[in-house]
Amino acid sequence: MKLNVETLKEKILKNVPAIKDVFIAEPPSHYEAFIYKYTDRKTNKKYLGMHEGYIGDGYWNSSESVEFKKIMTDSTSNILYEILEYGDIDEIKTREHDILTQVDAKNNDDWYNMNNGIVKKQSIRLDIVKEMVGRILAGDFDVVDSKGRWIKEDKEKIYNLPRLQVRVNQLISETVKYVTERVEIAHGNTDACSPILIYENRLKPKLYNGQTDLLGDGNNTIEGVYKAPHAVDIQIAKIPYEVHKDLSNLELRAIGGLLNKRDSIVKEPLTIDDGVKYIMNVYLATGKPADCTENYEWLEEARFTPNQIKKTIFPKAKEAITQKKLELANKVLIDYSSDSPHASVLEDKLDALRDTNTHSVAVSSANIRMDRVMTKFRRSGKQNIKVVVHHPTIKCADDWISIKSLHEEDVDFWITSKEINGKKMGFEWVVMPHLMDNKLVN
């Protein structure tokens, strides 16, 4: 259900005296559940939960804590209420469990929660996914008459359906523009377009203003057709409820991804980032590692090359999963780049290390150029050097020992084996902290 977020905020502040501030993340067009959080700003004690439904449906929480209930009924309380994430019901249950488990909320005096949630892991049955893709491509679900001619649907009706997002960028402007132009050249005829895939009766009508069908694939196509002035309707493929009822939303996304292989004309193939996002969805729903066999098989089926999978997609996905774990632990990576608020911390560190005999220089562990370090050191005319290292990514921090070992021969050749005025030159790595508490959340 599309709801005005600002209107909902005002309603909450008006009706619940204990709540003094509200944050609501912008909801997507399709979701089954959401994660909410209460923070008592007087004590910084928190309560987090999930709800199957839509924001503004009258649900508040299911806490059994008497202490929390007293806080919520006290008009002098200072409560921050947040709606943080949206998603499929199983995905949101898993996220709730992961967040609460990370802080062990049920045994943590900083939380009102009396349990750590219930985890419900989804599974991906790639054989069933591939079978469904084959049936869709074979036309088993095409909406046609007895002579095999398309029975098209009004483009506006299809355009307004809730959509299952498969890609990182749900709409790709170049593709949408191309579809619009090609349809207009045909004076509104859409025969050359791939059919829009619809899952029949997938949604609960109360959540989506009475709508029950879900658009599963064809976002860019319907967007382009909708923008074509002369187009009126579009062909569809409709999968009956009995066929898809036992498929998880994660499996529907897997189907949507495999439908966008690189042999389609009026479609945009999956990108590297789409592959990474798919793996992240698998991790959130199942807890499986990025490079598990099921992920490799799906990516291979989606026609990514082995090099793309092993050298690009898996490393990016592992980094994204690590970042997500940091978020659960309420930690963030410290950015020391020149336009960051933390740049001054790095400069202060450099200044503190410098003296009449010591030169200091900052380097990123992702790109250490010892030749440049030595040039600056030589020009300083000093006896010692301290190289201050900052990590631009979690992977760089995890790999620091091996990164440092790559430069040990250079350090020995250029510095520690040399002398100035009969005294050995000194060298030291100084590593900056790379994680900090996420104060924006607390």
Structural domain boundaries in the chain: 5-107, 121-267, 270-329, 343-437
At a CB cut-off of 8 Å and minimum separation 6, what does 38 contact?
A: 46, 47, 48, 61, 68, 72, 79, 80, 81, 82, 112
* Cα–Cα distance for residue pair 303/203, rounded to 1 Å: 31
Q: 191: Cβ–Cβ under 8 A, 6 or more apart, which residues?
A: 150, 235
pLDDT value at position 66? 92
Residue 267's pLDDT band (boundaries 50, 70, 90)?
A: low
Per-residue confidence band for 348, with pLDDT thresholds at 50, 70 and 90? very high
Q: Look over the chain and give the mean of its residue pLDDT values, rounded to a whole number.
A: 87
Question: What per-residue string of b and e applies to 214-226 under the rule 16 or more CB within 10 Å gives b?
Answer: bbbbbbbbbbbbb
How high is the pLDDT of residue 136? 94
Checking if the pLDDT of 266 tops 50, the result is: no
The residues facing 19 across adjacent strands are: 79
Q: How confident is the model at residue 306 (pLDDT cuts 50, 70, 90)?
A: confident
Please name which of 3, 26, 30, 33 lies closest in space to residue 214, comparing C-alpha atoms.
30
* pLDDT value of position 440: 43
Confidence of residue 263 (pLDDT cuts 50, 70, 90): very low
Rounded-to-integer distance, Cα 27 and Cα 385, Å: 52
Q: What is the mean pLDDT of residues 292-308?
A: 89
Q: Whole-prediction pTM value? A: 0.52
Instruction: State the average pLDDT over residues 167-173.
Output: 64
Q: What are phi and psi of 410, to 5 degrees?
A: -65, -45
pLDDT reading at 19 higher than 90: yes
- Beta pairing, strands 196-199 & 236-239: parallel
User: What is the C-alpha to C-alpha distance for residues 414 and 420, in angstroms, rounded to an integer?
Assistant: 12
Of 209, 195, 204, which is closest to residue 160 (Cα–Cα)?
A: 209
Q: Which of 154-158, 232-236, 315-319 is predicted with the least confidence, judged by mean pLDDT?
A: 315-319
pLDDT for 268: 61
Q: With a cut of 70, say whether residue 427 has pLDDT above it.
A: yes
Q: What is the pLDDT of residue 61?
A: 92
DSSP 416: I
Write the DSSP assignment of 270-282 as a string of letters: PPHHHHHHHHHHH
The DSSP line for 95-110 is: HHHHHHHHHTGGG-TT
Q: What are phi and psi of 148, to 5 degrees?
A: 80, 15
Answer whether 174's CB lies under 8 Å from 269's CB: no
Spell out the residues 6+ positions from residue 1 whose beta carbon is closer than 8 angstroms to its own: 54, 56, 57, 206, 207, 208, 209
Per-residue pLDDT tens over the stretch 354-383: 999 999 999 999 999 988 888 888 888 899
Q: pLDDT value at position 94?
A: 83
| pLDDT for 123 beyond 80 | no
pLDDT band at 28 (very low <50, low <70, confident <90, very high): confident
Query: Is 201 in contact with 213 (CB distance < 8 Å)?
Result: yes
pLDDT class of 205 with cuts at 50, 70, 90: confident
Contacts of 86 (CB under 8 A, 6+ apart): 25, 27, 28, 31, 33, 34, 35, 92
pLDDT interval class at 3 (50, 70, 90)? low
pLDDT reading at 432 higher than 60: yes
For residue 1, pLDDT over 60 is answered with: no
Q: Where are the beta strands (DSSP E) in 56-155?
A: 79-87, 153-154
pLDDT at residue 90, rounded to an integer: 77
Give the residue from 302, 295, 268 showing the smallest Cα distance to 168: 268
The residues pairing with 429 across neighbouring beta strands, listed in sequence order, are 387
